[in-house]
């Protein structure tokens, strides 16, 4: 039996995350006059299955297994829709997608990425965002991307001996 600890089982209910994300998505789509199609909905569910970002081709494979159109443009259109609707984020350093924990409000997402288990936690600190924007402006710098990704060890991985980490 492996001594590796998994983060997705004991203490966290992903079904609650998925249900909340879908309810938020449905509300936002109605407000924005958009449709949450079957493929968009299923893509969002699959992205929310864990707190590990999911790559486009991983998503494509999962959708294909379930009988959805397996052409890459189908997945990229769904991802573009979910990104533009504010329902997911792209974790640039991993070239993967993560469900947005704060989709019901306009915000800038910042991410804590565990180097060992690859879980990603989104946090929303508008004061950090405002300070960074102000600093860039004082330097005459025009920001084009505003993604901040901090890497290290999550609380769970930090407590495991190095050989027992995922």
pLDDT of 165 reads: 64
Q: Token pair for residue 51? A: 């707190």
pLDDT of 96 reads: 94
pLDDT of 11 reads: 57
pLDDT of 13 reads: 67
pLDDT, tens digit, for every residue of 76-129? 999 999 999 989 999 999 999 999 888 887 777 789 999 998 889 888 777 788
Specify the range with the lowest mean pLDDT, choosing from 3-12, 64-73, 143-152: 3-12
pLDDT of 78 reads: 95
The domain limits of the chain are 14-164
* Phi/psi-derived region of residue 118, left when phi > 0, alpha when psi is between -120 and 50, beta in every other case: left
Checking if the pLDDT of 1 tops 70, the result is no
Residue 114's contacts (CB-CB under 8 Å, 6 or more residues apart) are 120, 151, 152, 153, 154, 157
Q: What is the C-alpha to C-alpha distance for residues 31 and 61, in angstroms, rounded to an integer?
A: 31
Checking if the pLDDT of 166 tops 70, the result is no
pLDDT, tens digit, for every residue of 8-39? 444 566 788 888 889 999 998 999 899 999 99
How many residues does this entry show for the chain? Answer: 166
14-164 architecture in CATH? Orthogonal Bundle (1.10)
């Amino acid at each position: 039996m492996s001594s590796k600890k998994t983060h997705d089982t004991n203490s966290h209910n992903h079904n609650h995350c998925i249900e909340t994300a879908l309810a938020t998505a449905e509300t936002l789509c109605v407000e924005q006059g958009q449709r949450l199609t079957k493929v968009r909905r299923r893509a969002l569910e699959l992205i929310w299955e864990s707190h590990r970002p999911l790559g486009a081709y991983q998503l494509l494979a999962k959708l294909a297994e379930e009988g959805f159109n397996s052409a890459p443009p189908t997945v990229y259109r769904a991802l573009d829709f979910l990104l533009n609707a504010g329902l997911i984020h792209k974790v640039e350093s991993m070239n993967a997608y993560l469900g947005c924990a704060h989709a019901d409000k306009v915000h800038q997402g910042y991410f804590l990425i565990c180097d060992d288990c690859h879980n990603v936690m989104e946090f929303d600190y508008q004061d950090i965002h405002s300070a960074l924007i102000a600093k860039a402006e004082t330097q005459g710098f025009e920001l084009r991307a505003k993604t901040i990704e901090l890497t290290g060890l999550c609380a769970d991985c930090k407590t495991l001996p190095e050989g027992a980490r995922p």
